[in-house]
Amino acid sequence: MNLAVIFLLLVIGDCSTSANTGVLYPYGAPLDNENMKADDGASSAITVTVPVFGRQYSSIYVNNNGLLSFDVLFNSKLMQPFPFADGTLLAPFWADVDNEISGGIYYRMSQNSSLITQNANDLASYFPGISYTPTWVLVATWDKVAFFNSTTNRVNTFQAVLSSNETMTFVMYNYAEIEWTTGTNQGGNSEGLSRDGDAKAGGNNGATISYFEIPGSLTPAIINITTTSNVEVPGRWIFRVDQSQVISPNVTSKQKEKACSWILRTMCLALDYWNHQHISSSVIKTSIF
Ligand SMILES: *[C@@H]1O[C@H](CO)[C@@H](O)[C@H](O)[C@H]1NC(C)=O
Ligand SMILES: *[C@@H]1O[C@H](CO)[C@@H](O)[C@H](O)[C@H]1NC(C)=O
Ligand SMILES: *[C@@H]1O[C@H](CO)[C@@H](O)[C@H](O)[C@H]1NC(C)=O
Ligand SMILES: *[C@@H]1O[C@H](CO)[C@@H](O)[C@H](O)[C@H]1NC(C)=O
Ligand SMILES: *[C@@H]1O[C@H](CO)[C@@H](O)[C@H](O)[C@H]1NC(C)=O
């Protein structure tokens, strides 16, 4: 094998999976609560003061179908175009999830100081004009979840990190692995893919009928959301959401370093492809590691 390739594999580490897991905040047992296994289920109310879209809410629900909702549970599996009335939502990936078939939905409402520091530092780099320290951080993670009626191995792993100091509120969507875009009830085929009924990512303010959305929403292109970004970190989207007008950050030269990791990931994917074309990756692994 080419020495340059060996060197790159050593530098980059294990390329056997193309999942973008580096983008995720820590999650899972034993710190997190887990939603019950139930089609169209939700967490119980998480009681906290949270300004969203220009209004103060006093509780949050983590809904199984890829949504955070405020003061009321909202767990429709029928993705709708934004905006619509009667639903204040933050939607990392609204689609017909079924955690009875596969995966887990975890959440943690936390004041852990290292989590607060991580979130404050991330936001400071994207919103340089604002000096912000959250008082709490909610990490909600859909880990390897299947779609309703799935008989395939396709799973999605994504996260919403919501934080607030009770005046300002920010949400970060992190996409590690997106392999399906809709359940079979919404026109998806047996692989969870569709031509026009695909998942919706963004936010909807039912009170004033306003919204924001991530490009690709409700189209098959949403499957590539692990590679898109508004902060030059593939699979990461960040918004300030406390005001009626949602604010997207301005990416500056501070993000150069992070963009660099994107180049590494792209090389990783290319190597992955090369591995599959030429020799099995297990042969490469045993010959090097
Ligand atoms: C905060 O979270 C980190 C990482 O999960 C953990 O190591 C640490 O023990 C936690 N600190 C407290 C005070 O719970
Ligand atoms: C939240 O942070 C912003 C930015 O620093 C600040 O203006 C605001 O007063 C803070 N809110 C509270 C309740 O501390
Ligand atoms: C479940 O999936 C199968 C195979 O894709 C399909 O034929 C059937 O209509 C689906 N059932 C529902 C309730 O969506
Ligand atoms: C996803 O991205 C790949 C690589 O850029 C592209 O070939 C493919 O057409 C995209 N898929 C969709 C459904 O847009
Ligand atoms: C981004 O830049 C525009 C134009 O300079 C400015 O109006 C806006 O406030 C900036 N947004 C942030 C989050 O800094």
Q: What is the pLDDT of residue 103?
A: 97
Provide the token pair at 136: 């709490």
Ligand 4 atom showing the smallest separation from residue 221 Cα: 14
Ligand 4 atom showing the smallest separation from residue 220 Cα: 13
Q: Is 118 in the pocket of ligand 1 (CB under 6 A)?
A: no
Cα separation, 176 vs 54, whole angstroms: 30
* Closest ligand by atom to 178 CA: 4
| Beta pairing, strands 169-178 & 236-240 | antiparallel
* Closest ligand by atom to 148 CA: 3
Q: What is the pLDDT of residue 3?
A: 52
Q: What is the pLDDT along the chain (289 residues), one digit of tens a residue?
A: 455 554 454 444 444 456 899 999 999 989 899 999 999 999 999 999 999 999 999 999 999 999 999 999 998 988 888 999 988 999 999 999 999 999 999 999 999 999 999 999 999 989 988 999 999 999 999 999 999 999 999 999 999 999 999 999 999 999 999 999 999 998 899 999 998 889 999 999 988 888 999 999 999 999 999 999 999 999 999 999 999 999 999 775 444 455 545 555 666 565 555 444 443 332 222 222 2
Q: What is the pLDDT of residue 267?
A: 60
Which protein residue's CA is at the shortest distance from atom 4 of ligand 3? 190
* 50: enclosing H helix or E strand: strand 46-52
Which protein residue's CA is at the shortest distance from atom 4 of ligand 5? 250
Which protein residue's CA is at the shortest distance from atom 1 of ligand 4? 224
Q: Is 127 in the pocket of ligand 5 (CB under 6 A)?
A: yes
CB 136 within 8 A of CB 48: yes
21-52 burial by CB neighbour count: b if 16+ within 10 A, else e?
eebbbebeeeebeebeeebebbbeebebebbb
Q: Is 26 in the pocket of ligand 1 (CB under 6 A)?
A: yes
Provide the token pair at 227: 């590679």
Q: What is the pLDDT of residue 165?
A: 97
